[in-house]
Amino acid sequence: MNSPHEMLNRFTKSGIMAILRSVDYHNIIPALEALNEGGIETIEISLVTPNAPQILKELHESLGSRILLGAGTVLDAESARAAIFAGVDFVISPVLSFDVLNISRRYGKMTFAGAFTATEALTAWENGSDAVKIFPAMPAGPEYMKALHAPLPQIPLIPVGGVSLENMEAFMNAGSIAVAAGSNLVSSKMIKEGSYDEIKQNALRWVTEMQRIREKKDKQG
């Protein structure tokens, strides 16, 4: 089993997380395979999805190490434990829950607590969050992310909520280590209709844009 540090490095290297919520049970595995073929390897399944623990278990068994599989919208210790026992690699919460952080650390899982203010972000980091999910990232936007990052450069920040192909560069330039996106990257409609090639092509666009952004930053030094 990889350590949280190793998993964070893998996620940071890829730079993009796809978030799926309330998706159709029968289409989810081919949808994730399409995302993976498009270059996305970090995927969060929100626990608001019906039968989420069972879905997570089946995804873990079928896709294994091909992806980093996480549970999102984790609000309490019981939900975190159920997701961990289903085989997830990481746990994400939209809020700062010490119970979720403690359970995730106990089982050696990467965990991202949710925060919006500098105080919340620092508290999450000091209590073991491997990175901090800034939620909602919009409408505050990249300028707010930049303002948070300035006094807290040691904390890995991930914008969630409103990230798009068009504003991804601004968020990365504001100090984000990676981005996470839901319907702008893969919508429930795409999954429900079985539009797997569209899912793959959209994933490729996001991955290509992230590569362009990073190459541009490398050239600028």
Res 35: pLDDT:
98
Inform me whether the pLDDT recorded for 220 exceeds 90: no
Q: How far apart are CA 93 and CA 100, in angstroms?
A: 8
- pLDDT, position 85: 98
Name the pLDDT band for 214 (thresholds 50, 70, 90). Answer: very high
184's tokens: 């702008």
Give me the residue spans of the domains in the chain: 4-213
Rounded to an integer, the average pLDDT of 175-196 is 96
DSSP run (H or E) holding 91: strand 90-92
Over residues 33-43, the pLDDT tens digits come to: 999 999 999 99
Is pLDDT at 45 greater than 90 in this prediction? yes
- CATH fold group of domain 4-213: TIM Barrel (3.20.20)
Model pLDDT for residues 115-169, shown as the tens digit of each residue: 999 999 999 999 999 999 999 999 999 999 999 999 999 999 999 999 999 999 9
Contact 203, 185 (CB under 8 A): yes
So what's the pLDDT on residue 1? Answer: 67
CA distance 87 to 213: 33
Q: Work out the number of other CB atoms within 10 angstroms of the CB of residue 1.
A: 8
pTM of the model: 0.96
> Quick check: 13 and 42 in contact, CB under 8 A?
no
- 8 Å CB contact between 45 and 73: no
Q: What are phi and psi of 213, to 5 degrees?
A: -60, -45
Active site residues: 44, 133
In the block, tokens 């491997």 appear at 130
pLDDT single digits (tens) 50-108: 899 999 999 999 988 899 999 999 999 999 999 999 999 999 999 999 999 999 999 99
